[in-house]
Structure 1
Amino acid sequence: METNIALKADHIIKYFYEPQKFQVLKDVSFEVKKGEFLSLTGKSGSGKSTLLYVLSTMDTNYEGELFINGEKLTGQSQNNLAAFRNEHIGFVFQFHYLLPEFSALDNVMLPAMKLNKKSKQEIEDKAYKNLKLLGLEDQALKLASKLSGGQQQRVAIARALINDPSIIMGDEPTGNLDSKNTQVVFDIFKELAHERGQTIITVTHDDDFARNSDRIIDMSDGVIIKHH
Structure 2
Amino acid sequence: MEDLSLSVKNLNKYFYEPQTFHVLKDISFDIKKGEFLALTGKSGSGKSTLLYILSTMDTAYDGSLTINGEVLTGKPQNELAAFRNEHIGFVFQFHYLLPEFSALDNVMLPALKLEKRPVEEIKEKALENLKLLGIEDQALKSASKLSGGQQQRVAIARALINEPAIIMGDEPTGNLDSKNTRIVFDIFRELAAERGQTIIAVTHDDDFADNCDRTLELMDGKLIFQ
What TM bracket, shorter-length normalisation? Answer: over 0.9
In 1: Cα distance, 2:153 partner to 2:54 partner: 23
- Does 2:124 match 1:125? yes
User: 2:74 matched to which residue of 1?
Assistant: 75
Q: Which residue of 1 aligns with 2:167?
A: 168
Residue 56 of structure 1 is matched in structure 2 by: 55
**SS of alignment partner, residue 199 of structure 2:** strand
SS at 2:38 equivalent: strand
Question: 1:206, CA displacement in angstroms?
Answer: 0.3
Structure 1 unpaired stretches of 5+: none
- CA displacement 1:121-145 (0-9 Å, x = unmatched): 0000000000000011000000001
Q: Does 1:36 align with 2:29?
A: no
TM-superposed deviation, 1:91: 0.2
The offset of 1:75, in angstroms, is 0.3
Code of the residue aligned with 2:4 in structure 1: it is I
AA of the residue aligned to 2:213: D
Map of 2:133 onto structure 1? 134
Q: Which amino acid aligns with 1:103?
A: S
Aligned to 1:219: 218
Q: Secondary structure at the match of 1:79?
A: helix
Moved over 3 A (4+): none
User: Does the residue aligned with 1:3 lie in a helix, a strand or coil?
Assistant: coil
Identity across aligned pairs (percent)?
A: 75
Q: Secondary structure at the match of 2:53?
A: helix
Partner of 2:193: 194
Distance in 2 (alpha carbons) for counterparts of 1:194 and 1:150: 23
Aligned counterpart, 1:109: 108
Q: Secondary structure at the match of 2:95?
A: coil
Q: Summarize deviations over 1:5-49 as a string: whole Å, max 9, x none.
A: 000011110001111110100010000000000000000000000
Separation in 2 of the partners of 1:18 and 1:96? Answer: 30
Residue identity in the other structure for 1:140: A
1:60 is displaced (CA, Å) by 0.3
SS in 1 for 2:50: helix
Task: Determine whether 1:47 maps to 2:46.
Answer: yes
Amino acid at match of 2:169: G
| Separation in 2, partners of 1:77, 1:100 | 32
Partners of 1:82 and 1:11 in 2: how far apart? 23
How far apart, CA to CA, are the structure 1 residues paired with 2:197 and 2:45? 26
Q: Deviations over 1:60-87 (max 9, x none)?
A: 0000000000000000000000000000
What is the TM-score with the length of structure 2 in the denominator? 1.00
Deviation at 1:188, TM superposition (A): 0.3
SS of residue paired to 2:215: strand
Q: Runs of 5+ in structure 2 lacking a partner?
A: none
Secondary structure of the equivalent of 1:202?
A: strand
d(CA) in 1 for partners of 2:193, 2:17: 41
Q: In the alignment, residue 213 of structure 1 is paired with which amino acid?
A: C
RMSD: 0.4
Give, in whole Å, the separation in 2 of the partners of 1:3 and 1:226. Answer: 24
Which whole-Å CA distance do the structure 2 matches of 1:76 and 1:204 have between them? 29
Count of residue pairs brought into register by the alignment? 226
The whole-number CA distance in structure 2 between the counterparts of 1:32 and 1:198 is 11
